[in-house]
Structure 1
Amino acid sequence: MAGGTNPDARKKVNKALASAGSAAVGAMVDAARSARKKRRELKEERDKGRAENEAKAKEKAKKKGQLWVDKINETHATGRLCPWVSTFHPKKLPCQLEGTFYHGSFNAGVKMVFSDGTAWMVRFARVGMVSDDYADEKVAMEVTTLRLLRDKTTIPVPKVQAWGSAASNSLGLGPFIIMDFIDGVSLDDIFHHPIAENRSRLVKEDVSDSDIEVIYRQIANFLLQIFQLDFDQIGSLPSPEDGPQGSTPARPLTFKAHTILQDGGVDTFGDRTKGFETATDYFQYVTSQDWEQLVHQPNSIDGPYNAKNKYVAFQALKSLAVDLVNAQYDRHKFKLICDDFGLGNFIVRSREDLTVVGVVDLEWSYIGPAQLLATAPWWLLGDRPGNEEWDCDADDEPPCEVATRYFRYLDIFIRVLEEEEAILPGHEAKGFSSLVKWSQSSGAMWLHMLLTTSFHDIHTFPFTHLLRHLGASEWEKRKNQFENEEELEEFAARKMDELNEYDNVLEKLEKDKELVDSGEMTKEEFLARATTGSYSLNVVSRGPITGE
């Protein structure tokens, strides 16, 4: 059996429960342990296979990104980068590059220092990591966000000095933002182990609670200020006034939709001219993106049982989402949402002084439901709870270490949030903290984590905790609405055909990658093959899928 929990294990547990005496209890415990062990083994296999597939699937983007980095280096080496930056300075002062490149998940930047000592950060959207079709929009939305926060709050975001689309960049390096350089230390460098020492993304265990509280208190203040900004409609932010003419699409460019497109090759945006009247409408749209990814990404499953499991689970999740909408904020008072807002966005004064002096990298921002802003945060430990370091059973007794840490940090966050809310004008109604606590008591916090990320599995930390909160009987009742055996078998067969074809394509890609690594094929030739469809799938359609 490939993927999922062995159903025979559940039968053993039920059989033991039907018996009597200590022997039955022992059998029940043994069966439960066996099921858990089997589930974890299968999860490890799935994670390994998924990691390999994603690594190979990203090879094209990686090669494209390497060519782009080569182009940046060549631009600097030939003396064209600094003169170009100087054209944006009010006095056209000369400048020089200081230090090395700053690399983030979606951006690469350089520090440029002018002859008068002024320092700017020149940042480009990373080719290969950001979809070419959406890079301009990503940059434009961040510019709008930075200007909005500088104008309406005291949050220390950098001042945008200039920005431009790919078409306006005479260097051919893509869309860019030029902003004030903020001196300080990235909070990531203080709260996380260096990559060379430890690949964990979690906050180091030796970070004191007092330091955690200092940071959380400042973030709480920032979030409370953002919560005071109200918007009438869910959707994209307006384009910057000094940018290309034209309105932005109604449907926002989110971290989730972009990730599904960039990493999974599936466009889940739908008709972007159509907006959303309510949070309920928006939640239905976002949960349907998980379904679209499952259906249309060739390697979205790793076996027939896993295919059936996801088929049912994703549809049940969509039916559940509408029940976790806060009625008070369903139709109005929408808020500024930043999907990638977390500890990595903060620059502090020094390792000894944790005063936040800069909030950066505010891409994937848009207007969304208030409960997505005022929720138990995913970022308390610095890592997204859907990642494998969080993998543990929600029913573990005692709870796994990462769960214990998360809930302890959540208590700290809620306490300092309420303290900040009590002293900040305009928050007498305690609307923000009330929503955060509601997200915890209702279980909506777990849904929120799923809504803002992608590539879910029902055994991930947020999914298992959502199901635990819902209760086994209620979840089974919801799943039963979609368990049509004929549809499940047809879906599983189709997905296995696609997976087999995908493996064949990956084999061709891997062989060409070896040629690139050995120098027998250039990066340009590799990309040319990808562009002409040498690695495209040839899956035969077997009719529409009727699961939605």
Structure 2
Amino acid sequence: MPTKLRPPHIPKDDLAWERADEEAEAWEISVNKAQIWRAVGDLILKYKPGKAVELHRPIRGGYNAFYRLEYEDGSSAAMRVPCKGIVRFPEEKVLYEAATMRYISNNTTIPIPKIYHCGTAEENTAGLGPFLIMDYVEHERTMSEALKDPALDPKDDHVLDPDISEEKLEFLYRQMADILLQLFTLEFPRVGSLTQDRDGSFSISGRPLIQNMNSLVEFTSIAPTLLPSQQYSTADEWYSALADMHLSQFVFQRNDAVKDDDEDDARDKYVARQLFRRLASKGQLSSQSESGDASDTTTSPFRLFCEDLRPSNVLIDKDLRVVGVIDWEFVYAAPPQFSSDPPWWLLLTGPENWPGAYVPWMEAYKPRLETFLRALEGVEQKMRTGDETASGLATLPLSQRMRESWESKNWMINYAARSSWAFDFVYWRYLDERFFGPNEDKDHRARLGLLTQQERETMESLVDMKMEQQREASLVTLDHDNAAAQLARFMI
């Protein structure tokens, strides 16, 4: 029997996606009014006084709307607000991002825009929600624009130029390597998000707010109160929380979570999630994904990890030199394994979006990784020369950790752990046999014997629920009590 073909990622709920887009578009129209523009200008001037000459039209990005106010002296300031309908924890996101930017600015040479004020929704006199007011960084373009294939249509997603010169690539990669290496030297005692107290001190006192959590609320019926709400002392605890979120995603995504009328597809997804949860609870994910010293596997120090740190968020001048790094949302102190994996963005796009998915992506990725690691080794040598005790360099170099992670395919464990929608393909194609032995068809049938009787019964109940949801094709909003009761049926 041939191995079943699986898409590289589960589709997100199309009905939920349409609803979020409609809400975001309605919000964008509602705020594009003269009186709101005037209020935005006044608010920026309150925290960055000067003689203003022009407030540019707002730009809407993936998570934020961006307002730029230009001054008579040629400088500019900006206000950044989370987009309604897309960002589901706006106050937290802004609070953590401001603290992270200030901390990185204070402790590294990474060029971070200066923040003049971090404000709550109540403080925003323009009525746009929580906000950041910061310097606007003058730049020629993003690094992604310098790296992308020039033959692409401007509207296409960026893909690395296949004909880029090795000299240009290494020059740009070296600057990214320097950013990642500086972040890797920062150490924290827990998994969580940075906050800043009124006295200016920083601490990991926020929960780890990640992109996947935002997506869970955006694309499923999960109650936000069921998501992680604490910091974590060990990597194992965090891996378990991530694994639980994968099961939550499958339970609460009502539409497009399962192939049409395919009960076995639902069983595959349930079994994969239950076995992944079991691996996490037994500490097997942290120990297998670790590269470097054994002491790094479960406890502190943890390292700042930014899943969205990529060339499109790095601003460069006409000489290709980095002048600013922006968009620090969803950054948190994570297990060091995450930062020890080779960066996914070397080709500017991830494997699930590459033509042919993972195998051709890895073939194209490998030579670019060699270039990046060579650049990283050069930065490591330079840092050692300047500071022999640089944290993270006194033991196994980051370049070697990344190389080991790539060669052992340990990076796939963390890649699967971070995204509920990319999880299934990676689990069945690359992780299942690694942990549980041969599985010719790469599906749930060979693993049913690993489940308890209660888990098998629960699986069939969940399959019935997913089939019924397919027939209904509706969206439902659940309160905490009803969502908790539904999750409890399957979280065994």
From 274, 290, 295, the equivalent of 1:328 is 295
From the superposition, tell whether residues 479 and 207 of structure 1 become closer, same or farther in structure 2 (CA, over 3 Å): farther
TM-score by length of 2: 0.83
From the superposition, tell whether residues 118 and 107 of structure 1 become closer, same or farther in structure 2 (CA, over 3 Å): same
The 2-side partners of 1:336 and 1:214 are apart by 24
Name the counterpart of 1:481.
Answer: 450
The 1-side partners of 2:168 and 2:428 are apart by 30
Name the counterpart of 1:23.
Answer: none
Greater relative contact order (Cα < 8 A, sep 6+): 2
Give, in angstroms, the shift of residue 160 of structure 1.
0.7
CA-based RMSD: 3.3
Matched letter for residue 450 of structure 1: A
Paired residues for 1:334-373 under 5 Å: 334-350=302-318, 353-373=319-339
Matched letter for residue 72 of structure 1: V
Q: 2:303·2:334 contact (CA, 8 Å) conserved in 1?
A: yes
| 2:395 is equivalent to residue 429 of structure 1 | yes
Q: 1:310·1:457 contact (CA, 8 Å) conserved in 2?
A: no
Name the counterpart of 2:467.
Answer: 496
Matched letter for residue 459 of structure 2: L
Name the counterpart of 1:71.
Answer: 30
Name the counterpart of 1:307.
Answer: 266
| 2:243 is equivalent to residue 292 of structure 1 | no
Q: 1:345·1:361 contact (CA, 8 Å) conserved in 2?
A: yes
Name the counterpart of 2:66.
Answer: 109
Name the counterpart of 2:52.
Answer: 94
- CA deviations on 1:174-199 (whole Å, 9 max, x unpaired) are 11111111111112333335874563
Q: 1:336·1:367 contact (CA, 8 Å) conserved in 2?
A: yes
| 2:148 is equivalent to residue 192 of structure 1 | yes
- CA deviations on 1:329-366 (whole Å, 9 max, x unpaired) are 1111111121211122111112xx22111100010011
The 1-side partners of 2:279 and 2:416 are apart by 12
Matched letter for residue 371 of structure 1: Q
2:186 aligns to what SS in structure 1? Answer: coil
1:219 aligns to what SS in structure 2? Answer: helix
The 1-side partners of 2:144 and 2:225 are apart by 32
Paired residues for 1:146-545 under 5 Å: 146-184=101-139, 185-192=141-148, 196=153, 199-239=156-196, 241=198, 250-267=206-223, 270=226, 272-299=228-255, 300-302=257-259, 303-321=262-280, 322-325=283-286, 326=290, 327-329=294-296, 330-350=298-318, 353-385=319-351, 387-389=352-354, 391-392=356-357, 394=359, 400=360, 402-424=361-383, 425=387, 426=390, 427-459=393-425, 464-467=429-432, 473=438, 480-482=449-451, 486-501=457-472, 503=473, 505=474, 545=489
Give, in angstroms, the shift of residue 152 of structure 1.
0.4
Q: 1:250·1:272 contact (CA, 8 Å) conserved in 2?
A: no
TM-score by length of 1: 0.75
The 1-side partners of 2:118 and 2:268 are apart by 46
The 1-side partners of 2:101 and 2:242 are apart by 25
Alignment coverage as a number of residue pairs:
461
Rg bigger for which structure? Answer: 1
Q: 2:44·2:78 contact (CA, 8 Å) conserved in 1?
A: no
Paired residues for 1:25-44 under 5 Å: 35=3, 39=5, 43=7
Give, in angstroms, the shift of residue 457 of structure 1.
4.8
The 1-side partners of 2:377 and 2:396 are apart by 8
Matched letter for residue 302 of structure 2: F
From the superposition, tell whether residues 95 and 247 of structure 1 become closer, same or farther in structure 2 (CA, over 3 Å): farther
Name the counterpart of 1:80.
Answer: 39
2:105 aligns to what SS in structure 1? Answer: helix
The 1-side partners of 2:129 and 2:315 are apart by 26
Matched letter for residue 158 of structure 1: P
The 2-side partners of 1:445 and 1:267 are apart by 30
The 1-side partners of 2:17 and 2:114 are apart by 34
From the superposition, tell whether residues 433 and 177 of structure 1 become closer, same or farther in structure 2 (CA, over 3 Å): same
From the superposition, tell whether residues 60 and 74 of structure 1 become closer, same or farther in structure 2 (CA, over 3 Å): same
Give, in angstroms, the shift of residue 278 of structure 1.
0.7
- CA deviations on 1:345-402 (whole Å, 9 max, x unpaired) are 111112xx221111000100111111111211112111233x34354464xxxxx2x2
The 1-side partners of 2:196 and 2:267 are apart by 42
Matched letter for residue 242 of structure 2: V
2:489 aligns to what SS in structure 1? Answer: coil
| 2:15 is equivalent to residue 60 of structure 1 | no
- CA deviations on 1:59-91 (whole Å, 9 max, x unpaired) are 2222222232223320467633322321112x4
Q: 1:249·1:273 contact (CA, 8 Å) conserved in 2?
A: no
The 2-side partners of 1:413 and 1:200 are apart by 22
From the superposition, tell whether residues 66 and 391 of structure 1 become closer, same or farther in structure 2 (CA, over 3 Å): same
2:133 aligns to what SS in structure 1? Answer: strand
Give, in angstroms, the shift of residue 458 of structure 1.
2.7
Give, in angstroms, the shift of residue 312 of structure 1.
0.8
Q: 2:309·2:328 contact (CA, 8 Å) conserved in 1?
A: yes
Matched letter for residue 300 of structure 2: H
1:155 aligns to what SS in structure 2? Answer: coil
Matched letter for residue 265 of structure 1: S
Give, in angstroms, the shift of residue 125 of structure 1.
1.0
2:424 aligns to what SS in structure 1? Answer: coil
- CA deviations on 1:282-324 (whole Å, 9 max, x unpaired) are 1111111101111222222223111000111122223344323
From the superposition, tell whether residues 542 and 227 of structure 1 become closer, same or farther in structure 2 (CA, over 3 Å): closer
Give, in angstroms, the shift of residue 466 of structure 1.
4.0
Q: 1:347·1:356 contact (CA, 8 Å) conserved in 2?
A: yes
Matched letter for residue 495 of structure 1: K
What 5-or-longer segments of structure 2 have no aligned partner?
A: none
The 2-side partners of 1:319 and 1:207 are apart by 44
The 2-side partners of 1:481 and 1:304 are apart by 19
Give, in angstroms, the shift of residue 162 of structure 1.
1.7
From the superposition, tell whether residues 483 and 193 of structure 1 become closer, same or farther in structure 2 (CA, over 3 Å): farther
